[in-house]
Amino acid sequence: MLKGKRLCMALVLTCAMCLLASCGSKLPDPPADYTLNGDTVESLNTVLGEENSGKMTEMETPDTKTDRASSSASGGGEETCFYTYEKLETGGESVRQYVEKLTAEKDGFRVVDETDTETDPPDYTAETGSVALAKAASEDGKILRMDISWTATDCQITLTRPEGTVGETAAETEPMTYVDAVNFMKSLSPATLGLKADSLADYSVYPMDGAAMVDGILCLKLQVYPPHGKDQANAIAGTYLLSGDKKHLYLLKDDKVKELPL
């Protein structure tokens, strides 16, 4: 019985010593910059200042000798940098300030989605959330991507360098009206339309009902008429197909389509 009690006391003492050793372990010094394969980014603590960036509790880079870094290297995975900050006053607000600084710089980061396409920023007032940033890396064909997640009092930042490019959001264009199409056609030179005239000032342009598809591009059909005398019948000078973005103009003749340079 006495031997059993001594064994229990020894186990308790051993656990206590392990706990004390763990509590006394030194936290990593927060870096001034995050660096990954030659690409450098200002760190959270540099942008926000020491007093506002909480405490760094974890840092893993290709150079550190942690279990996670070792397992990643042994698995042949993409090299990463990983940082954890705790004791932030407001996780989402800290991330917002950091992101706005990085995206405001010339040739800086852009907020992207999972396909590395530019997108709108998230709601930083949410208690938990995430945001991704990306920009071209120093190596051709690769991007530097930052994935940042936050809770009420902490955030995690992960840097990777995957292959790819940062895509831009397609610009939204206003739909072309009949008036827009007519005015555009009247602004062109007669030579552009293949007409022998000094000016289109006296020509008439009429949009036709319906639309036509040319090479997957939706176009509006328009007919151009030359000036005519009182007793002369209307003679069509040309039939044209104009794309909605006004970047493609086609001549329709004998059921054949020919693109005209703009």
Residue from 177, 160, 163, 193 nearest 83 by CA: 160
- Residue-wise pLDDT tens digits, 54-95: 999 999 988 774 444 344 433 344 689 999 999 999 999 999
Please report, to the nearest 10 degrees, the dihedral formed by the alpha carbons of residues 226, 232, 234, 235 taken in order: -60
Q: What is the pTM of this model?
A: 0.55
- Residue-wise pLDDT tens digits, 112-142: 999 999 999 999 999 999 999 999 999 999 9
User: What are the structure tokens assigned to 107, written together?
Assistant: 């040739």
CA 101/CA 253 separation, integer angstroms: 56
Coil, helix or strand for 205? strand
CA 44/CA 66 separation, integer angstroms: 22
What are the domain boundaries of the chain? 27-160, 178-260
- Residue-wise pLDDT tens digits, 232-241: 567 889 999 9
